[in-house]
Amino acid sequence: MKFTYTIEGGDFSKAGHASSSVKKVLKQLNVNSKVIKRIVVALYEGEVNVVAHAYRGKIEADINAERIYVRIEDEGPGIPDIGLAMTAGYSTASEKVREMGFGAGMGLPNMKKNTDELKVTSEVDKGTTVEMTTYLK
Amino acid sequence: MHNDFHHALVVDNELCYGCTHCMMACPTAAIRIDNGKAVIIDERCIDCGECMKACPVDAIFVEQDDFKKIFEYEYRIAIVPAVFLGQFSKKISVKEIVDAIKETGFTHVFLAEESAEVINEVMLNEYDSDRERPLISPFCPAVVRLIQVKFPGMVENIIPVKTPVDSTAMYVKKYMQDKGLPEKRTGIFYVTPCAAKIAALKSIPEDEIVINGVINMDMLYNKVYHIFKTRKGGNTIEDGSFTGISPKVLKWSLTGGEADNMKGRCLAIDEVHNVTKFLERVEDGDIINVDFLELRACDHGCAGGVLMTENRFLTVERIRTKADRIKEDLPEQPIEKYHGHLKANAGISEIEPRSMFKLDEDMEEAYRKMQRIRHLMCFLPAIDCGACGAPNCQSLAEDVVKGKAHLSNCIFIQRSMEKNRKLSNEHAIRLIEKVWGKDRLDKNCNKKGAENETD
């Protein structure tokens, strides 16, 4: 089953829409609540990343009885050094974003912690794609 | 605890005319219309009472014990929540209210929240545990049930502690024993402001039952009010010295009653839809660094209980006024001697999840059902009219997949079937009658708003 969501850069009020919707589906599938929590945390971080850093983005979640695969693709500045971005505490978020309580530099590290497989690809001045797979059992 | 999910809300089939108000108001989509009557689905109902509040003809009621049952006992004890004291004008003192309760037949009256100090202490001790944050109070049984069915992943946040009424009942029982009054001749009755408390009390395992019966608050209100209206003599002025209950105990069941007495970042949220929305956000990981949540299913806490007669704003104001008048140096209360005993016995077993969402225990089967639901949603009109007997299209689709309803219950699907000559007129009528009752399509001038409306 495929679910798609769009994200607008800068619109923090909508961040969490995809994770909330995916959560409902996983609950119906009787997925263990601890697993749901990991998936929801990772996806929420991903959504916030797009809102905070990119111009716009698209989320595709593909769910079957075995696993959930999420692909978050954005149009944005891209990440010059992915290794650095994966470091806990490292952040390029603007002052404005930090004031809103975001941008602590835990986005990607948190996503890595909460997914079984994480792949980040990025091109500077074009955008970033994050792929996450988590097994449901 | 709560292995048996007892429910206290009952539909009176004589009065119910299948209007869908309750079905649309239910926060857990637990009501369907079948054969012209509302039907409550046990697994989904959380006993919040929203349906009862929404019913235009009082067809939903809260089952209670026969008041006469109290006279089976020689010692008849009423455990009364503080909000009852806010049901009457400020000119009527607490003592007068207590005396009037006794006049209805009780020999002793205790305040349900009397043990709140003990419960407060036990909850504060949880701060040192490694329990998941935010800690959630188990005070409101409808909220506990809401979390069980709708937020099963958060049951571990609920502090496993007795509610004040359970702890107070334990104190009352021991107090009476210590006074040498035989247990068999002592009947403890709880006067409830809502359906959820009854449902929770009746779900307690047989061997742990302390409370012998439940009386609805509106019934006691009528009895007490009648005494005030018919008696002779003037009112006495409140002197605030009744039993020396503390302001904290008095305000415990109002919004903020618990949150104001907990540590760290505490939030008090009332009304079931507000609670649901907030828990959604906590579950999404969107709200962090909150230590304690006081959650109540009713607006203004127990003052907004479904069995309250008086306006909830007035109730709150009166209780706050009473609390403000209480002198600071309170005499020692009998309950304080039992502090250690109550504290040692305040624990309950962990709350179990009972998800209402899962389409099947087996994930693969659930997945297949989910696919079918999504497919059915392609055909349903998504206007959530309720004419199929389910509160919205999504619920109908789920019911169909669970084998509990037919897609042809949808009147839009019926039209399209008729258009394609897959449904005869007679069959369409039969389908309507199945959901809405045999005579639903007949002219009836007795219904609400019609020419010969009868009440």
With an 8 Å Cβ cutoff, is B340 touching chain A? no
pLDDT tens-digit map of B233-249: 555 444 334 557 899 99
Give the 3-state DSSP-derived string for B283-326, with helices as H, strands as E and coil as C. Answer: HCCCCCCCCEEEEECCCCHHHHCCCCCCCHHHHHHHHHHHHHHC
**Domain count of chain A?**
1
Measure Cα distances from B148 to A37, B28, B69, B270, B405 in Å: 16, 12, 33, 18, 25
Provide the shortest C-alpha distance from residue A49 to chain B (in Å): 14
Contacts of B284 in chain A (CB under 8 A): 16, 19-20, 23, 40, 44
Q: Which of B114, B109, B110 is nearest to B167 (CA)?
A: B114
User: Are the beta carbons of B432 and B442 closer than 8 angstroms?
Assistant: no
Confidence of residue B195 (pLDDT cuts 50, 70, 90): very high
Provide the shortest C-alpha distance from residue B374 to chain A (in Å): 9
Q: Is a pLDDT exceeding 80 seen at residue B112? A: yes
Torsion of Cα atoms, B187 then B191 then B194 then B198, to 10°: 0
Domains and CATH numbers, chain B: 9-62 (3.30.70.20), 67-344 (no CATH), 363-436 (no CATH)
Q: How confident is the model at residue B238, as a pLDDT?
A: 42
Kindly determine whether residue A30 and residue B153, on different chains, have CB atoms separated by under 8 Å. no
CATH number assigned to the domain comprising residue A108? 3.30.565.10
Confidence of residue B363 (pLDDT cuts 50, 70, 90): very high
Partner residue facing A136 (CB), from B283, B284, B363: B363
Provide the shortest C-alpha distance from residue B5 to chain A (in Å): 21
Q: How many CA atoms lie within 13 A of A87 on its CB side?
A: 9
Kindly determine whether residue B358 and residue A29, on different chains, have CB atoms separated by under 8 Å. yes
Residue A56 sits in which domain range? Answer: 2-135
Query: For residue B331, how far is the Cα from the chain centroid?
Result: 34
* Residue B372 to residue A24: CA distance in whole angstroms: 16
DSSP secondary structure of chain A? -EEEEEEETT-GGGTTHHHHHHHHHHHHTT--HHHHHHHHHHHHHHHHHHHHH-SEEEEEEEE-SSEEEEEEEEESS--S-HHHHTSTT-----HHHHHTT--SS-HHHHHHHT-SEEEEEEETTTEEEEEEEEE--
Radius of gyration of chain A (CA): 14
User: Which position has the token pair 């010059």?
Assistant: A80
pLDDT tens-digit map of B278-295: 999 998 888 889 999 999
Q: How confident is the model at residue B205, as a pLDDT?
A: 80
Amino acid at B353: P
Q: Is a pLDDT exceeding 60 seen at residue A42? A: yes
Grouping H, G, I as helix, E, B as strand and the rest as coil, residue B186 is strand
Contacts of A28 in chain B (CB under 8 A): 357-359, 366, 370
Confidence of residue B4 (pLDDT cuts 50, 70, 90): low
Measure Cα distances from B169 to B85, B164, B212, B363, B433 in Å: 19, 8, 10, 43, 49
Which residues are within 8 A (CB) of B357 and not within 5 positions of it... i.e. 6 or more apart?
A24, A27, A28, B150
pLDDT tens-digit map of A91-132: 887 787 777 777 777 789 999 999 999 999 999 999 999 999
Measure Cα distances from B72 to B91, B136, B208 in Å: 34, 39, 21
Measure Cα distances from B244 to B88, B119, B126 in Å: 19, 18, 28
Kindly determine whether residue B357 and residue A40, on different chains, have CB atoms separated by under 8 Å. no
Chain B interface mutation, best of A28, A34, A115, highest count of B Cβ atoms under 10 Å: A28
Q: Is a pLDDT exceeding 60 seen at residue B201? A: yes
Question: What ipTM describes this predicted complex?
Answer: 0.86
DSSP-assigned letter for residue B87: G
pLDDT tens-digit map of B154-190: 999 999 999 999 999 999 999 999 999 888 899 999 9
